[in-house]
Structure 1
Amino acid sequence: MSAAPAPPPAAAAAGVRARRQRPPLLVLLAMVVVAATVVCAIAGAAIAPHDPDAQDLVAGLQTPSAAHLLGTDDSGRDLFSRLIAGARTALVGPLLMMLGAAVIGTVLGLIAGYFGGWRDSAIMRAVDVVYALPSLLVAIILVGVIGGGYAVAVGILVVLFGPADARLIRGATLAQRSLPYVDAARTLGLSRRTIMFRHIWPNILPLIVANAFLNFAYALVALSAMSFLGIGVAPGEADWGRMLNDNLSLIEDNPVAVLAPGIALVLLAVAMNLLGDWAYERLSDRGRAR
């Protein structure tokens, strides 16, 4: 009996690429965690079994049951419903911070890395000053002095995280600036803006995307820490960091009240890191295939 013919090289290579592009199990689980958080953030009011802000002092301090899956707090509010509602601030704030820092860092890093000279010096000296500051401590102090709550905290973190992105992207731009394709683009007479944003930027995009996902995790932890300290979201608002603080007194009677928001924070942060690593690999492989 003759052996089956070997697949042609092109088909074998396509099969290898398909297997490499298939997300591994951990990435699939990370996608599920992020998707569940997005659903809760968008449709939390529709899927929550109870009103997350409704108080019932008679039903206060209950342990997990069929009526209240995670129990209730000392005001009788359903903790499972509040966990669902808290997904909104856990997602929106870090997402805005991630996008804002990426835009600031990309623009400043490309300009500093491509132009060099006085532009590079001016941008990097300002970046060094901000980068030397302890971001979370500065944000806590500024929000405490200025007030404004969650929105101000997000804006301050954008300004504080942007310089770190600028340093990273400047280094990547410097590495790309001396490559032959950039010299060829200059020879063709392309404008500097076109070279930066249509040629260099796509080649450093994997790094930008991976760093943006990492920033999301940092922002999630930072904003939750500020809410835990009472200077993030408004008192009484459903937020995972705030839930950790509000339910600390229940840790002996109902440990789930503290563990649930803590586990949710860890799962979302880890999931975004895994997705960032996977996106970096996918974009890098696509760039090498071109």
Structure 2
Amino acid sequence: MTAVSGTPLFGGRVARLRRTRPGFLTVASAVVLALMALAAIGGTWIAPYDPAAQDVALGATMPSWAHWAGTDDLGRDVLSRCLAGARSALLWPVIVTLCTCVMSTTLGLLAGYRRGWLDAIMMRIVDLLIALPGMLVLIVLVGVLGGGIGWAVLALAVLFTPGDIRVVRSLTMAQRELAYAEAARTLGLRPARIMFRHLLPNIAPTVVAGALLSFVAGLVALSGLSFLGIGLPAGTPDWGLMIEENRTLLDLNPWASVIPAALVTIAATAATLLGDRLFERLSDAA
């Protein structure tokens, strides 16, 4: 059956379903992140051994039936430490993402909608922060402040926010000139209501994609800090810290470093792919 114009009646619906159907990579990315989230929540409960339990006499061993991923130089089970390390490896990047998303979205909306002196001052600060070498500033700040994951999270949120502010500001400036925003102003709606109830839903796809990219950047940066010995205390189950602690065991048990490094890579890749898909899906729905 065809329409009067000759176009298949159900062609548009089928094409739309194909466009919105999640692909294999999207589903795989979502499943991987869901499993990692479960490990972050209950990793210490499902771990076969106590992540902190040591057996110095055993030392570093290759994978076996007793220890599926082997042990490190202190005889600690690598698989158990990977499961327990998911909490710190993923939780702190999520906190960085939430802080970055809230600050950048709020400040970007204000700068793009209000314009004037507020926009001018904010953009000069943003330009200054963007011009700084981010990773170098992060290492110096965390080192001067005495280390610690809390300072690292705060520094990352401050360093990640300026770039996202600029993106949100540009989108807001484009949206505020459209007819629906003009109509809202004509009706006398408050600026806050216009920004957060009308403009924000239309820039949400980019905000969501940016949030997932911030998560990836935070994951990699915090893992790098842990590798450098600046983030978490030594001995804490954490993927980045495990890479540093076990890098000398490549001859005895390379999996002690390879597995946590692979987990960081897989988590970053899955979040990036899922962010791309969410951006496309939300853009189509907008």
What is the aligned residue count? 283
Q: Which amino acid in the other structure matches residue 29 of structure 2? A: A
Q: SS of 2:57's equivalent? A: helix
Offset of residue 58 of structure 1: 1.6
Matched, 1:130 2:100: no
Partner Cα distance (2:47, 2:8) in 1: 53
Q: SS of 1:267's equivalent? A: helix
Structure 1, residues 137-161: CA drift from partner, whole Å, max 9, x if none? Answer: 2111111111251122111111111
Partner Cα distance (1:148, 1:10) in 2: 64
Structure 1, residues 10-67: CA drift from partner, whole Å, max 9, x if none? Answer: 7543433333222100111111110111011001111101111100112211111111
What's the counterpart of residue 276 of structure 1?
275
Offset of residue 253 of structure 1: 2.1
Structure 1: runs of 5+ lacking an equivalent: none
Partner Cα distance (2:276, 2:190) in 1: 33
Structure 1, residues 175-196: CA drift from partner, whole Å, max 9, x if none? Answer: 1121111111111111111111
What's the counterpart of residue 111 of structure 1?
110
Q: Which amino acid in the other structure matches residue 120 of structure 2? A: S
Equivalence map 1:136-151=2 (5 Å): 136-151=135-150
Partner Cα distance (1:121, 1:129) in 2: 13
TM-score of the two chains, using structure 2 as the length reference: 0.95
What is the alpha-carbon root mean square deviation over aligned residues?
A: 1.5
Is contact 2:86–2:239 with CA below 8 Å preserved after alignment? yes
Equivalence map 1:10-159=2 (5 Å): 11-159=10-158
Q: Which amino acid in the other structure matches residue 215 of structure 1? A: S
Q: Which amino acid in the other structure matches residue 33 of structure 1? A: V
Structure 1, residues 226-267: CA drift from partner, whole Å, max 9, x if none? Answer: 000001111100111101110111012222111111110000
What's the counterpart of residue 266 of structure 2?
267
Equivalence map 1:95-244=2 (5 Å): 95-244=94-243
Q: Which amino acid in the other structure matches residue 83 of structure 2? A: I
Percent of aligned positions with the same letter in both sequences?
50
TM-score of the two chains, using structure 1 as the length reference: 0.94
